Structure formats: structure tokens, C-alpha cells
């Protein structure tokens, strides 16, 4: 069977972070070599797909979606004992494993530092032999990305892991300067250290991936669309990015101020001029290991929500979609808006009394308003932030204020900062370039919009809707072009994470390019129908990946006990008597129904599969999560299996339970009937 043919097979999959594996030889964290051991277990269970999270080097940032390099692998996943140079270091390797292996979740920072320290010791003991090894030199020539990466890692270490934007004279470098630094004999030792690690990681990961493929299992990687602002790629190839913009997501019911991820936005024109070599090289590297890959936030290939870097990291309300068809000054003139009217709609106008009102909370000891303090603080606001508009009781922001960060930096009372940031967003249009406008997400709530006549509102709404429809055509062309480039550049199967506010063009393009989309059961509902019913499993597209949850969500157990409308979901799957407390019986019913979905791939977080046995239930279901979005803690991204892979291999009861899930046949009767009626 060819790789292409295998993509058409229905498969049950397990989603598991590499770091969570407890292999026979791993110490404190899962390593690439453990994938081969897990594949043996997967075969016994009937699992045909293993999906892992991103495994690129993220430095001391634990999120796998915040990589320092789009190409380099994470040193955390190296099996030190398997290095040829590790002979004689067994006591230190054993001590490291003993120190960290007892932890329920792995200690990301401490473990990574301990591993790197030990790798430096091993490297120092064999430096001359490593430097003289022809195989390393050949590997470096085959992987040219490692040169800027090694230079970047050395400079980052020399600068106490600070962002490259704080590196002084090394902040902005040319390709020639990077090459010169790589060739500097005085720096060769440190540069080769990072190249040596990457060669070893590549070798170990390839070997493990080959074992997974030999077992008949598809190994699916994860390629985040975005790259960390503090990364080798942005530092070395700034021309491929819009560094003045920050990617994120527009406001929604869960994030009313939007999401600002802090990642730069791609300069697609510059990438196209270079024939998308950077993206194609990412696929070449990934294809050494994977047969399939997940495109995180595939919507970003169609359009990305971007806010100015001058705005606060906590908000992206003053953002816009890129690309999109702009509203121009001429467009506004054509619907009857003068220059003054355009300024009224696009520049926040602040009434004098609102500045005073901002300080109503400043009180004396007896609880009365402190008028003297309010007057003093208001004076600072007027002098530092605002300019009066003629002789009116209206004020505009000073020209020096370009965004929310400038407001935050002012020496004014916190009450005033909060008010001014809110006022900054109070506009109908964002003028992002001279004469080029985008509507604010909540433009109908703006002061200016409320002041428009009924006819003016209708003209504004019609103009915004017209440009939105034009933009959707642009998104479709843009997304189809970029995704076609990816599919033609690799034999791997791309799978799209298409969650969020999905434009109508996205499923059309994915279907046209044979790219499976994602169906998360708890969110796969008819949101615009009364009662927001779940979409029947038999109506899921065959070209899709079905799952109960993702790495950013709760497990099925926690969802059932804390979040789900149990009666509604029980009725949906035809099991009205399911227990309120999650147990293996409930797990079996829910997993069986999900496994029967018409989707080609039905994948489950490893935790959801382990819940088929009471042995593996944590006391608190929340402790089994991989990540809690919106939080930065030592908990996130450090999940580990509750027991070793070897112990799971001995659990015949669990293996049989998973086998039963894997053997479930699809429920496609309704889809077949509809297809038959369509033919008639």
C-alpha cells in the first residue's frame, strides 16, 4: 500500500505530546525514542494514527506553539544515553533520571536546564572528536538552517536568554554577518554544540518515526502557522514578516477584547517573491518524520487578524483582517462624508466631562469624592494625552500617541489610563494607513456611529458589508493559493484546524484540495438553530478529523462533569441513562459513538482513552489537562502519562477496551440516504 492510498483509510488515532511519554529509558520527560515503544502499544490497541504536538525548540518557553525556530528540534526530547559520546556518563544520566522521574508532571525549566548542562559536559569531553567528524560537517551542509540557528542560540545564551530585540548591535544583522559569525573560529566551539545536538535529535527522531511507520501507523506532526517573535527565523529573515503587526483573533464571546498572540504577521508578498522557500523548507524538514501534519489555525492562510504592536498585549480590539479590501477615503466621500465627518468617525473625540468622570472613584478617607485630587489628575491627562479641538469641549489624542502602549506609559492615574484606553477604541473606523480604513469590530457601539442619522448608518453599514463580501473573495483566492502551494510541495497529508469564526470559503477550499477539516464534538453544533443541537455523527464529512477535545480544552471526563449539558448530550447519542459522574462505562459509550462518526480519522487525547479504566483516573480531572489557555504557569504543557508505556502494555483489559473502540464501524446511513435522494 502506498502512502497516498493509506490516507483514504479510516483510522482511530491517539493524540499524545512527546513529553508525556514514560518510556523504558526516558528520564523525567518523554523523548523521541519513546515513540517507537508507544507505537508497539498502539498496534495492540488497534490505533492507526499517532498525533503529536509541535516538537520544535522553544527554549525556556514551555508552549510548543512558541518556537525559537521553525526547523530546530527541541533538546528536551533527546535521549542522552543513546549518544555515542555518552559513554562514561552513565552515573550522571542515571542521577538526572532519578531526580526528575518521580514527578507527576515534568519540571520543564529545571529538566531542560539539567539536560543542557549535561550535554555541555559531554560535548566538552569530546569537543575535538565531534568537530573533526565528517558526518557532522556533511549534516550541516544538508541542513543549512542550522547555521543561523546555532548563531542565534549562542547569542541568546550570551544575552541571558533575552529577546533578540534587546541584543544591541546584534539586533539587526545581515545574512553576510550571520555567515561571518558562523565562520568565526573563536566561536566555532559554541556553534558546533548546537549543531551537534540537532544532528543527534534528527537521527533519533528519524529512527523513531521509521519504527512508527514500520508498525503501519501514520505519524502526524503539528506545524503552527505562526512563529514566535523572538525566534531565529524572525531575526534572520525579517523581510518575511510585518514586525509592526501582531497576530491574534477578533473579539468573541470568550475573549471580548480579542486575542493578541504577540506573533508577527507574514509578509506574503516577500515570501511569494522568494517562491515561498521558507515554507517549502519547513515541509521538507517535517517530511523526514511525518506522514501527515496538522495545520494549526488554517484560517490564517485565508486571513489573519492583526493589531498594531503599539496596542496592549491584552487586547486586539483595534485590529483588522489581512488581507482585506479596504474602505478608502474616496469610498466615504462617495457616500456623503466630508473630511470632518471622516475624522469624527475615525478619530476618538473625548468630551471634557468624561475626563472628569474618570476620577469619580478617587475618594477622601470619609468616602466622599476627593475633588482636589481629581482636578490634579485631570490636568495631567489634558496636558500629557489630549489636544483641544478648536474651542469646543472636545479633545483629540495628541499626535505622539500611536496606540494603547503609549497611553499605558503616561504618568497619569490608573483610572485615567483605563478610560483613555477605552476611548482609544471608541471609533467607527481604524485608519491603518493614510486614507485606508477598516471597521472596528464593535463599530456600532461607537460614539460617532450613535450620532449618525438613520440614512448615514444605512450607508455606512452597506459600505462595510460590500467590502466584507469583496474581502471574502480575496480570502478565498489567497487561501487557495497558499494551501495549494503547501499540498503540491509535500507528499504529507495536511489536516486543517479550522476552528473559530470560519468564513464560507474555507470549507470549499479545503474540500477542493482534499484537506480534512476538524470536528470537535462539543462544538460541532447548529449554532443558528433553536436549541443549538449537536450535528449528527453520520453527517460529519468523510474528509474530516473528529475528536472529543483538543490540547487547549478539558478532557472528555472534565467536560462531562463540569461543563456539559449531560441530559442534552445523552439524548443526542441515544444513551439517556448515562451516569452524572464520569466512569469507564460512560467513557465507553461516548467514545464508541464518537468512533462511529463518518469522519475518516477519529482521534482521542490519550487521557480520554485511559479513562476506559479506573486505574488511570486522577483525583482531580482538571489535573489531566495539557493546557489552560490564557494562563502562564508551570502546569501548562507538562502532562505525563500516569504510568509507563510498559505498564500499559501489560493492561489487557485496557487494551481490549481500546480495541473495541477502534473496531467500531461508521454510522453513515443518513448520509447514504441523502446521497441516494440526490441522485434521483
Q: Is the pTM of this model over 0.85?
A: yes
Assign residue 438 a region (left: φ > 0; alpha: ψ between -120 and 50; beta: otherwise): beta
Q: Which three cell numbers stand for residue 612?
A: 476506559
- CA–CA separation, 105 and 637 (whole Å): 9
Same domain, 201 and 108: yes
pLDDT at 668 over 80: no
Average pLDDT of the chain, as a whole number = 94
- CA–CA separation, 198 and 277 (whole Å): 21
615 close to 651: Cβ distance less than 8 angstroms: yes
615 domain-assigned = yes
Q: Which pLDDT score is estimated for 674?
A: 44
Q: Which pLDDT score is estimated for 313?
A: 84
Q: Which residue has the cell 477605552?
A: 422
Same domain, 542 and 647: yes
Strand 386-388 relative to strand 394-397, pairing: antiparallel
Q: Which three cell numbers stand for residue 470?
A: 469583496
Same domain, 565 and 440: no
Same domain, 654 and 558: yes
Q: Which pLDDT score is estimated for 672?
A: 44
pLDDT at 676 over 50: no
CA dist list (Å): 255 to 213, 234, 248, 263, 317: 41, 28, 11, 18, 10
Phi–psi pair at 664, nearest 5 degrees: -65, 135
- CA–CA separation, 566 and 522 (whole Å): 11
Position with higher pLDDT, 630 vs 294? 294
pLDDT at 179 over 60: yes
Mean pLDDT of 630-654: 96
Same domain, 422 and 526: no
541 domain-assigned = yes
Task: Average the pLDDT over each of 147-151, 310-314, 343-347, 377-381 and give the range with the smallest value.
Answer: 310-314
Task: Average the pLDDT over each of 94-98, 370-374, 444-448, 527-531 and give the range with the smallest value.
Answer: 370-374
Closest CA to 51 of 646, 608, 634, 676: 608
CA 666 remoteness from chain centre: 31
Annotate 112-165 with three-state secondary structure: HHHHHHHHHHHHHHCHHHHHCCHHHHHHHHHCCCHHHHHHHHHHHHHCCCCCHH
CB contact set of 476 (below 8 Å; sequence gap of 6+): 302, 503, 505, 508, 509
The number of beta carbons lying within 10 Å of the beta carbon of residue 477 is: 14
647 domain-assigned = yes
Mean pLDDT of 35-56: 98
Rounded (10°) angle between helices 371-385 and 414-424:
40
- CA–CA separation, 556 and 611 (whole Å): 9
Same domain, 529 and 655: yes
- CA–CA separation, 290 and 283 (whole Å): 10
241 domain-assigned = no
pLDDT at 3 over 60: no
- CA–CA separation, 658 and 356 (whole Å): 65
Q: What angle do CA 300, 302, 305 make, to 5 degrees?
A: 50
Binning pLDDT at 50, 70 and 90, where does residue 623 land? very high
pLDDT at 678 over 60: no
- CA–CA separation, 192 and 130 (whole Å): 8
Element (H or E) spanning 172, and its range? none
For residue 665, give the DSSP letter: P
Mean pLDDT of 554-575: 97
- CA–CA separation, 597 and 546 (whole Å): 7
Same domain, 326 and 199: no
Q: Which pLDDT score is estimated for 370?
A: 85
Same domain, 51 and 193: yes
Q: What is the CATH number of the domain that holds 36?
A: 3.20.20.80
Q: Which pLDDT score is estimated for 363?
A: 83
pLDDT at 399 over 70: yes
246 domain-assigned = no
Q: Which pLDDT score is estimated for 670?
A: 46
Same domain, 88 and 206: yes
For the chain, what is the total number of helices (H) and then of strands (E)? 28, 18
Annotate 506-535 with three-state secondary structure: HHHHHHHCCCCEEEEHHHCECCCCCCCCEC
- CA–CA separation, 62 and 634 (whole Å): 8
Residue where one domain finishes, among candidates 176, 209, 236: 236
252 domain-assigned = no
DSSP assignment of 585-643: HHHHHHHHHHHTSS-SEEEEEHHHHHTTSGGG--SSGGGG-S--TT---SSTT----SS
Binning pLDDT at 50, 70 and 90, where does residue 344 land? very high
Same domain, 451 and 374: yes
Binning pLDDT at 50, 70 and 90, where does residue 366 land? confident
- CA–CA separation, 371 and 357 (whole Å): 11
The number of beta carbons lying within 10 Å of the beta carbon of residue 371 is: 12
Q: Which pLDDT score is estimated for 368?
A: 83
Rounded (10°) angle between helices 90-100 and 108-125:
180
Residue where one domain finishes, among candidates 468, 501, 531: 468
Judged on CB neighbours under 10 Å (0-12, 13-18, 19+), 396 is middle
Q: What angle do CA 325, 328, 329 make, to 5 degrees?
A: 170
pLDDT at 5 over 60: no
Binning pLDDT at 50, 70 and 90, where does residue 352 land? very high
pLDDT at 641 over 90: yes
CA dist list (Å): 505 to 297, 321, 474, 475: 15, 15, 10, 8
pLDDT at 540 over 90: yes
pLDDT over 70, % of the chain:
97
Same domain, 213 and 345: no
454 domain-assigned = yes
Residue where one domain finishes, among candidates 236, 265, 293: 236
Strand 319-322 relative to strand 544-547, pairing: unpaired
Mean pLDDT of 440-466: 97
Q: Which three cell numbers stand for residue 287?
A: 517530511
Number of domains the chain is built from: 3
Binning pLDDT at 50, 70 and 90, where does residue 649 land? very high
CA 159 remoteness from chain centre: 27
Element (H or E) spanning 476, and its range? helix 454-488
482 domain-assigned = no
Round to the nearest angstrom and report the end-to-end CA distance of the chain.
Answer: 35
pLDDT at 186 over 90: yes
pLDDT tens string 235-287:
999 999 999 999 999 988 778 899 999 999 999 999 999 999 999 999 999 99
pLDDT tens string 477-513:
999 999 999 999 999 999 999 998 899 999 999 999 9
pLDDT at 395 over 70: yes
pLDDT tens string 151-175:
999 999 999 999 999 999 999 999 9
Q: Which pLDDT score is estimated for 669?
A: 55
- CA–CA separation, 200 and 142 (whole Å): 14
- CA–CA separation, 112 and 77 (whole Å): 9
Residues in the chain: 680
Q: Which residue has the cell 464560507?
A: 504
Owning domain of residue 153: 3-236
Same domain, 17 and 78: yes
35 close to 212: Cβ distance less than 8 angstroms: yes
pLDDT tens string 110-165:
999 999 999 999 999 999 999 999 999 999 999 999 999 999 999 999 999 999 99
342 close to 330: Cβ distance less than 8 angstroms: no
Amino acid at each position: 500500500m502506498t502512502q497516498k492510498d493509506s490516507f483514504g483509510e479510516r483510522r482511530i488515532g491517539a493524540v499524545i505530546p512527546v513529553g508525556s511519554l514514560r518510556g523504558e529509558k526516558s528520564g523525567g520527560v518523554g523523548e523521541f525514542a519513546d515513540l517507537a515503544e508507544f507505537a508497539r502499544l498502539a498496534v495492540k490497541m488497534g490505533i492507526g494514527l499517532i498525533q503529536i504536538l509541535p516538537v520544535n525548540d522553544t527554549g525556556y518557553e514551555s508552549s510548543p506553539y512558541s518556537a525559537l525556530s521553525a526547523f530546530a528540534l527541541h533538546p528536551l526530547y533527546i535521549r542522552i544515553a543513546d549518544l555515542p559520546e555518552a559513554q562514561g556518563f552513565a552515573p550522571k544520566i542515571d542521577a538526572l533520571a532519578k531526580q526528575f522521574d518521580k514527578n507527576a508532571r515534568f519540571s520543564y525549566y529545571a529538566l531542560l536546564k539539567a539536560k543542557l548542562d549535561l550535554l555541555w559536559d559531554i560535548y566538552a569531553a569530546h569537543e575535538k572528536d565531534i568537530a573533526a567528524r565528517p558526518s557532522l560537517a556533511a549534516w550541516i551542509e544538508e541542513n543549512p538552517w542550522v547555521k543561523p540557528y546555532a548563531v542565534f542560540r549562542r547569542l541568546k545564551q550570551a544575552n541571558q536568554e533575552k529577546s533578540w530585540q534587546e541584543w544591541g548591535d546584534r539586533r539587526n544583522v545581515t545574512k553576510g554577518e550571520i555567515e561571518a559569525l558562523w565562520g568565526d573560529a573563536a566561536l566555532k566551539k559554541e556553534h558546533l554544540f548546537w549543531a551537534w545536538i540537532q544532528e543527534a535529535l534528527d537521527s533519533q527522531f528519524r529512527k523513531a518515526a521509521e519504527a512508527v511507520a514500520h508498525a503501519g501507523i501514520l505519524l502526524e506532526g503539528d506545524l503552527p502557522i505562526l512563529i514566535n517573535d523572538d525566534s531565529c527565523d524572525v531575526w534572520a529573515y525579517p523581510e518575511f514578516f510585518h514586525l509592526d503587526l501582531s497576530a491574534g483573533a477578533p473579539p468573541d464571546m470568550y475573549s471580548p477584547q480579542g486575542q493578541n498572540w504577540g506573533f508577527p504577521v507574514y509578509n506574503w508578498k516577500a515570501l511569494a517573491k522568494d517562491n515561498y522557500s521558507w515554507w517549502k523548507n519547513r515541509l521538507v524538514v517535517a517530511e523526514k518524520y511525518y506522514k501527515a501534519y496538522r495545520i494549526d489555525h488554517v484560517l490564517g492562510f485565508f486571513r489573519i487578524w492583526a493589531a498594531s504592536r503599539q496596542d496592549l498585549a491584552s487586547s486586539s480590539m483595534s485590529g483588522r483582517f489581512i488581507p482585506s479590501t479596504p474602505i478608502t477615503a474616496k469610498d466615504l466621500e462617495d457616500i456623503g462624508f466630508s473630511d470632518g465627518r471622516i475624522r469624527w468617525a475615525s478619530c476618538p473625540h473625548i468630551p471634557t466631562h468624561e475626563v472628569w468622570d474618570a476620577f469619580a472613584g478617587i475618594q477622601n478617607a470619609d468616602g466622599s469624592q476627593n475633588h482636589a485630587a481629581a482636578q490634579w489628575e485631570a490636568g495631567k491627562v489634558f496636558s500629557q494625552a489630549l489636544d483641544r479641538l478648536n474651542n469646543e469641549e472636545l479633545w483629540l489624542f495628541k499626535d505622539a500617541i500611536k496606540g494603547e502602549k503609549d497611553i499605558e506609559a503616561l504618568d497619569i492615574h490608573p483610572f485615567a489610563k483605563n478610560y483613555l484606553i477605552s476611548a482609544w477604541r471608541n471609533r467607527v473606523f481604524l485608519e491603518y494607513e493614510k486614507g485606508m480604513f477598516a471597521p472596528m469590530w464593535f463599530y456600532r457601539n461607537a460614539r460617532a456611529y450613535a450620532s449618525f442619522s438613520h440614512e448615514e448608518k444605512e450607508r455606512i453599514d452597506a459600505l462595510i458589508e460590500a467590502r466584507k463580501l469583496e474581502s471574502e473573495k480575496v480570502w478565498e483566492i489567497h487561501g487557495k493559493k497558499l494551501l495549494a502551494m503547501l499540498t503540491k510541495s509535500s507528499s504529507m497529508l495536511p489536516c486543517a484546524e479550522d476552528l473559530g469564526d470560519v468564513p464560507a470559503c474555507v470549507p470549499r477550499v479545503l474540500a477542493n484540495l482534499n484537506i480534512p477539516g476538524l470536528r470537535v464534538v462539543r462544538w460541532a453544533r447548529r449554532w443558528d438553530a433553536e436549541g443549538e443541537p449537536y450535528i449528527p455523527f453520520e453527517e460529519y464529512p468523510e474528509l474530516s478529523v473528529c475528536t472529543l477535545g483538543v490540547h487547549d480544552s478539558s478532557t472528555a471526563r472534565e467536560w462531562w462533569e463540569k461543563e456539559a449539558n449531560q441530559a442534552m448530550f445523552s439524548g443526542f447519542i441515544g444513551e439517556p441513562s448515562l451516569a452524572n459522574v464520569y466512569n469507564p462505562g460512560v467513557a465507553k459509550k461516548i467514545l464508541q459513538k464518537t468512533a462511529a462518526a463518518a469522519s475518516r480519522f477519529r482521534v482521542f487525547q490519550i487521557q480520554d482513552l485511559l479513562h476506559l479504566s479506573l486505574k488511570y483516573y486522577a483525583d482531580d480531572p482538571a489535573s489531566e489537562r495539557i493546557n489552560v489557555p490564557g494562563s502562564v504557569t508551570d502546569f501548562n504543557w507538562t502532562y505525563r502519562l500516569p504510568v509507563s508505556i510498559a505498564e500499559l502494555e501489560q493492561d489487557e483489559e485496557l487494551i481490549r477496551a481500546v480495541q473495541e473502540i477502534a473496531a467500531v464501524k461508521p454510522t453513515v446511513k443518513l448520509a447514504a440516504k441523502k446521497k441516494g435522494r440526490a441522485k434521483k
